[in-house]
Amino acid sequence: MAALAKRETSSKATGSPPALNVERVSAGYPGNRQALDDISFSVAKGERVAVIGPNGAGKSTLFKAIVGVMHISSGRITIYGEDTHSSHTNVGYVPQQSAIDWTFPASVFDVVMMGRSRHIGWFRWPRKDDRDIVRDILEHLSLDHLADRQISELSGGQRRRVFIARAMAQDTRLMVLDEPFTGVDQTAEQEIIESLDILTNHGITLLLSTHHMENAALHFDKILILRQRLLAYGPPGDALTTANLRDAFGSALPVMTHGDDLLMFSVDYADGEAVDGSR
């Protein structure tokens, strides 16, 4: 990709701040109980972290707080050492599909170009460099053949990849993705995972919520288990224990062990169908 420089992927540069630091954060909505209760964790540059937990666990609230659109009642969030309210250029956000108006009359190219708005400035037309960057991103994510297609005409997996492309066009350093695997078929899942691999290869740190345990275990460096408070955080082998999953999901997630292996039967909460996975 000529227009997209490949970033250094090492997360262990001496003296560099973490990509994301969440320190004793609590947050809630007026009239409701706390959605997040004293959450603390840190994500190193280039890491991939999957956030799991039942519906209502606070995953979307956490993500909105990280991108600066949700007020926190206490604590502090920094992105590469900057307060979340002054670090918008460092973070890209891919919301849940249900939060997006797919009837909006825009082409794939136009949606991805929206990610360049911070660089273009108000009331200015995109420059040649901006158009080149968008074309490169679309080509790299195998979306170039859809550039002129209206977003309402896309499949669920294609829509997720378009919004990943838009976040990538922001020249972001941390990307937050809320339930990108929900409601897509196995082929689309694999395409999304391949897109995440491209982001990782460009040094972009990933924080992603999912109900798909197998994807979390196989494709992420760390797992964060959330249920209003942080129940576990670490490599998949450490976080995905029977006790931690029981604490998070209760009887909603039957867990069985076979020798040293953990077998789980997760629930895709979008459609209510059981999805069995293992690690």
In SS3 terms, 120-189 reads as: HCCCCCCCHHHHHHHHHHHHHCCCHHHCCCEHHHCCHHHHHHHHHHHHHHCCCCEEEEECCCCCCCHHHH
| Residues 188 and 157: beta-carbon distance below 8 Å | yes
- Domain of 185 in residue numbering reads as 20-278
* Cα Rg, the chain, nearest whole Å: 19
Question: Model confidence over 43-90: pLDDT tens digits?
Answer: 999 999 999 999 889 999 999 999 888 889 999 999 998 887 765 668
The answer to whether position 3 is within a domain reads: no
Of the candidates 254, 212, 255, 249, the one whose C-alpha atom is nearest the C-alpha of residue 232 is 249
Tens of pLDDT, residues 82-98: 887 765 668 888 887 66
| pLDDT 10s digits, 148-189 | 999 888 887 888 888 888 888 888 889 999 988 888 888 888
CB 60 within 8 A of CB 233: no
Pair of tokens at residue 164: 């990943």
Q: Which tokens belong to 265?
A: 């039967």
Domain count, the chain: 1
3-state secondary structure of 105: coil
Q: Is residue 14 part of a domain?
A: no
> Does a structural domain hold residue 6?
no
Q: Could you tell me if residue 12 is inside a domain?
A: no
Question: How many Å apart are CA 36 and CA 38, to the nearest integer?
Answer: 7
- The CATH number that applies at residue 176 is 3.40.50.300
Q: Is the pTM of this model over 0.75?
A: yes
Structure confidence at residue 260 as a pLDDT band (50, 70, 90): low
- Degrees to nearest 5, angle at CA 159 with 203 and 19: 25
Q: Is residue 69 part of a domain?
A: yes
